[in-house]
Amino acid sequence: MEGDCYAATNNIIFNKASKNIIGGNMNRIQQLHKIGQSIWLDNIERSLITSGRLAELVDMGIRGVTSNPSIFEKAIVGGAAYDDDIARLASSGKSAMKIYEAVAVEDISLAADVLRKVFNESCGEDGYVSLEVSPLIADDTETTISEARRLFKLIDRPNIMIKVPATREGMPAVRKLIGEGININATLIFSVSQYEEIAEAYISGIEDLIAAGGDPSSVASVASIFVSRLDGKIDPILESMGIVELRGEIAIANSTSVYSRFKEIFAGERWQALSEKGARVQRVLWASTGTKNPEYSDLLYVYNLVGPQTVNTLPGKTLDALIDHLLVEETIMRDPESAKKAIERLPQIGIDLDKINDMLLQEGVEKFAVSFNSLIDSIESAMPTDNLLNGFADSLH
């Protein structure tokens, strides 16, 4: 089995021949996997797991699950599924922070168990569930490292990925954690340069792991590129300038540029030497791919980003649209020159893409922090006064 897994994870052919449009008896999720793209679900909540719906989606071809503080806030605060757990944990004297962690870890663990068969059958390529470190420590490298270690050990499953924001402080954390054999989902990536730094952190981490005598085939990582938020920021600027022809194009063009660098980085001599030792490619993961502008196709960021060795994580509404009417074909490198020209035009019209991407990163961290704080506040408001006092005392120790 080990030999079979090694062959499967290292048989990577970027420019493989494939039919332009794939059909047959496979559903659309399975058709995408045939091309080389894995579809993950960008959502987690207790009822999704306990009702059997997640298992059904896995049977349909879903190959992973991602979460973030906003998703957990919606799940825990938005319904009654967690009320009993919160009451039980509060009565035992747990703080709101400890209650959140307990229910989040349980959800992540249960989802990982459902996806374990995908992990096993894919030799560790897919089947992962991601849990993010607290966004409140995004500017603290050492605390991020210690929290990632703790969560990975606490959940104690091989198909867990710890999400680390790709901030300046997060970059060295990614390298350190990969070097320790911890699966990492590097998140909140917006720019090509930011992606390049994360790829370097991953490759350096793999080199560290090998130098320490570790097995590089035992660790996996994805680099999560946030897509639609870029158009959300640039489109209003273009509209104010009367430049309508670039609306809805920059996010895809930027993602195409990232994918081009991905292909170059993971085809070079340095990477090939690591690949021969069993190292896995750090796949690009497309995040924030739900369409927010009603003027655009509901699958704009899904259809145009289909390519080998990629992952697309989708919210439920976008996944439903994919299942219903996505035209499945390999698209991402269909016209890289046009993508390059669109990006090159931005400075000509006075738009600083790097500055906007830096702004989006900062906003992304802040939004998750707001959601996280709101979640903790909501749990606290549901706790009796005596439990709040116990929780406060617990937090001091």
Alpha carbon distance 63, 328 (integer Å): 17
Check: CB of residue 249 under 8 Å from CB of residue 300. Answer: no
Angle, CA 376 vertex, CA 372 and CA 380 arms, to 5°: 170
Alpha carbon distance 172, 102 (integer Å): 28
Alpha carbon distance 107, 341 (integer Å): 44
Check: CB of residue 369 under 8 Å from CB of residue 135. Answer: yes
Alpha carbon distance 311, 333 (integer Å): 15
φ/ψ region of 343 (left if φ > 0, alpha if ψ in -120 to 50, else beta) reads alpha
Find the DSSP H helices in the chain.
2-10, 28-35, 46-50, 53-60, 69-77, 83-91, 96-121, 141-155, 170-179, 192-211, 228-241, 250-265, 269-275, 300-303, 316-325, 336-348, 353-381, 385-395
Angle, CA 343 vertex, CA 336 and CA 190 arms, to 5°: 95
Strand partners, 189: 225
Q: Measured over all CA atoms, what is the biggest interatomic distance in the chain, rounded to whole angstroms?
A: 65
Alpha carbon distance 255, 323 (integer Å): 23
Alpha carbon distance 141, 147 (integer Å): 10
Strand partners, 73: none
Is the Cα dihedral 18, 19, 24, 28 positive or negative? positive
Instruction: Give the single-character DSSP code of 349.
Output: T
What are the structure tokens assigned to 385, written together?
């006064």
Which is the catalytic residue, given 19, 153, 163, 341? 163
Check: CB of residue 96 under 8 Å from CB of residue 376. Answer: yes
**Is 163 among the catalytic positions?**
yes
Catalytic residues: 163
